[in-house]
């Protein structure tokens, strides 16, 4: 979200998602302040990303169980998915599954992406279906 140059092109509502992500990280850091991995991650993000550091300094806490995300994909264009969170009780983890409404354009787009990815190899240097800012699809 903050260190990948593709993130702002991929997440069409980048500012909102960035705010939500920082709020969720702050919430988790409050629940487990002794989590060394999380504190190391936050420290890295604060030092390497001015955008993260500014949002972290606001001290906003945000938890959401369901969220819509609009994503840009060079194969299918703009796609909107809904993510639902599921807490995995004994593990302290949260699984977020993204899906499309049945019968929607997004469902058709996901099917097309599944078929496309089954027949296409993407170089390791470029995430599948994501173009850097300003690039046009091939």
Q: One digit per residue, pLDDT tens: the chain, 138 residues?
A: 999 999 999 999 999 889 988 988 998 888 888 999 999 999 999 999 999 999 999 998 877 778 888 999 989 999 999 999 888 877 777 888 999 999 999 999 999 999 988 887 655 545 555 555 555 444
The one-character DSSP state at 137 is: P
pTM given for the model? 0.60
CA distance 137 to 122: 13
What is the signed CA dihedral for 107, 122, 72, 7, rounded to 10 degrees?
130
Q: Does residue 118 fall inside a structural domain?
A: yes
Structure-token pair, residue 86: 């599921």
Count of structural domains within the chain? 2
**Does 87 lie in the same domain as 75?**
yes
Structure-token pair, residue 11: 């997440």
**Does 71 lie in the same domain as 52?**
no
Domain that holds residue 28: 1-63
**Does 116 lie in the same domain as 93?**
yes
**Does 52 lie in the same domain as 6?**
yes
Q: Does residue 138 fall inside a structural domain?
A: no
Structure-token pair, residue 76: 């299918």
Structure-token pair, residue 55: 């949002």
**Does 77 lie in the same domain as 51?**
no
Q: Which of 47, 63, 79 is the last residue of a domain?
A: 63
Measured between alpha carbons, how far is residue 76 from residues 8, 56, 72, 94, 107 in Å? Answer: 17, 34, 8, 28, 11
**Does 41 lie in the same domain as 73?**
no
**Does 28 lie in the same domain as 77?**
no
């Amino acid at each position: 979200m903050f260190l990948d140059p593709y993130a702002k092109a991929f997440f069409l509502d980048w500012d909102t998602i960035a705010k939500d992500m920082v709020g969720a990280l702050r919430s988790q850091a409050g629940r487990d302040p002794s989590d060394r991995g999380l504190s190391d991650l936050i420290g890295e993000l604060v030092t390497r990303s001015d955008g993260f550091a500014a949002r972290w300094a606001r001290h906003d806490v945000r938890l959401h169980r369901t969220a819509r995300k609009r994503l840009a994909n060079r194969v299918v264009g703009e796609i909107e998915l809904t993510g639902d969170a599921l807490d995995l009780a004994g593990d302290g983890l949260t699984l977020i599954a993204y899906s499309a409404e049945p019968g929607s354009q997004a469902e058709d787009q996901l099917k097309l992406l599944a078929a496309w990815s089954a027949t296409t190899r993407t170089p390791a240097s470029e995430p599948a279906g994501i173009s850097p800012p300003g690039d046009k699809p091939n």
